[in-house]
Amino acid sequence: MQEKQLHSGKKNLFFNKDYISEFVYGGIDGAITTFAVVAGAEGADLGIQVVVILGMANLIADGFSMSVGNFFSTKTERDTFERHKQIEYWEVENLREKEIQEIREIYAAKGFKGELLEQVVEVITADKEVWVDTMMKEELEMVKSDKTPYKTAGMTFFSFVIVGSVPLLSYFFAGRGPAIDEELFPFSCILTAVALAIIGSLKSIVTEKNLFFGILETLFLGGIAAFLAYFVGDVLEKMFVNF
Amino acid sequence: MQEKQLHSGKKNLFFNKDYISEFVYGGIDGAITTFAVVAGAEGADLGIQVVVILGMANLIADGFSMSVGNFFSTKTERDTFERHKQIEYWEVENLREKEIQEIREIYAAKGFKGELLEQVVEVITADKEVWVDTMMKEELEMVKSDKTPYKTAGMTFFSFVIVGSVPLLSYFFAGRGPAIDEELFPFSCILTAVALAIIGSLKSIVTEKNLFFGILETLFLGGIAAFLAYFVGDVLEKMFVNF
């Protein structure tokens, strides 16, 4: 095992990765859902105009919805932590004996006993900060997230819109001749695959896994989603035609 | 503060809520993104066929993509925890003195000193499980998630498809006469609003916040997303017409 893989400090290890993670998941979702709209519309032969209109509508509306959802979920996590911390402070103030007993049980489970256990309980419960911090980690198994809701939501939206616009790029060349128009969807497939491969390689940084595996996984996921959308579009179009 | 709000045990508090959370976020995303497709298509006057085809394509493809994304993200979280735990085991075996010093520093920060501090360090480092567990919580501030990837992904897909099909329900009555067709979008708006209100009230259970606030927040989010999609659809359609 190499030295650089070892734990040398919390901040270095987690700080930047947090927001890469938002970039990766926002980008994957943006590219896949926009490409699904494109593939669904192509499968149903709905025309270039529909692809561009609904692709753009998806980009803005879904990007907004995902970012705000992300904002609330990050915020809820932080709020939940703070609320439970307040409950612990209240319990430490008002149910002192019960909470002392909980600390005793926590440290007994770690192997402390007798006089040493009582001394440990005394030191932990002497400082309310340390006492509550111990209850949060050991009883509730909750730790505070470093992420701020505004940053996670902003990064998600940015990535969703930027990466998510890739499947639409080729359609901006629509109307330059019928020969080109027929190549728009194949070009969109290629561009989207390249974008997903790049973001898949970034993902392997977040998950600390094999680069090749990260790329394949992301491409596979995007491919299945697009296939499903194309297939649903195709089947439904035939149903409408035969209706 | 009422008794029932207090901390009485980890499992009761978190077990069921985990999957309600997946249901809530999957459902909100399903309803909002499908409704955005409907609103975008209506804004651009693309017709009922387009609404149904792309609404269904979005439901399947986006639902799939979101669930698989959820699967990998839950799995990554668990894998990351396990890998860092393995690193800690390795360090405890191979960098024994450094890790003992880290335990000493962690407990010194809690207020232990002198002979008592040394005794605490001795007990903690006597049991590798306890030692590594302490490093995970105190140095890395990581706790293991109770959620399993298959369950979170399954619940997300289920909720996405069920709640996400609500905006499309009224369109199944298309073709029963022109008077009815004009009412499809208003009906879809009402049904979607009801679904978002119900899921918003469930959300307030997850976030442990005010019921009214949870409902308003979800409705507001869905409303803005739909407005953006409708607006983008409308503007782009006019651009195409004038093109």
3-state secondary structure A107-120: HHHCCCCHHHHHHH
- In contact, B4 and A40? CB cutoff 8 Å: no
What one-letter code names the amino acid at B118?
Answer: E
B58 → closest Cβ in A36, A60, A88: A36
Who's near A51: CB < 8 A, 6+ residues apart? A37, A38, A41, A42, A168, A171
On whether any CB of chain B is under 8 Å from the CB of A84, the answer is yes
pLDDT in tens, chain A (243 residues): 344 456 654 444 444 566 788 888 889 889 988 998 899 888 888 888 888 988 998 899 889 888 887 887 788 888 888 989 999 999 999 999 999 999 999 999 999 999 999 999 999 999 999 999 999 998 888 888 878 889 989 999 999 999 999 999 999 887 776 667 778 999 999 999 999 999 989 888 877 778 888 899 889 888 898 889 898 888 888 887 765
Averaged pLDDT for residues B44-64: 88
> Which residue's entry shows tokens 């232990």?
B112
Is the CB of B47 inside 8 Å of chain A's CB atoms? no
Calpha distance B188→B164 (Å, rounded): 12
Question: Is A144's Cβ below 8 Å from some Cβ in B?
Answer: yes
Using the Cβ of A110 and the Cβ atoms of chain B, whether some distance falls under 8 Å is answered with yes
- Give yes or no for A55 touching B (CB within 8 A): no
Burial (Cβ within 10 Å: 0-12, 13-18, ≥19) of residue B181: middle
B234 touches chain A (CB under 8 A): no
Chain B positions in Cβ-Cβ contact with residue A13 (cut-off 8 Å): 140
**Shortest CB distance from A65 goes to which of B36, B41, B53?**
B36
Structure tokens at A216: 């394949």
Distance from CA of B174 to the nearest CA of A (A): 12
Strands (E), chain A: none
Residue B137 corresponds to which tokens in the numbers above? Answer: 């919580």
The minimum CA-CA distance between B139 and chain A, rounded to whole Å, is: 7
Nearest-by-CA chain B residue for A115? B116
pLDDT given at position A16: 53
Burial of B1 (0-12, 13-18, 19+ CB in 10 A): exposed
Contact B110 A130 (CB under 8 A): yes
Contacts of A221 in chain B (CB under 8 A): 65, 68-69
- Could you tell me if A37 lies within 8 Å of chain B, comparing CB atoms? yes
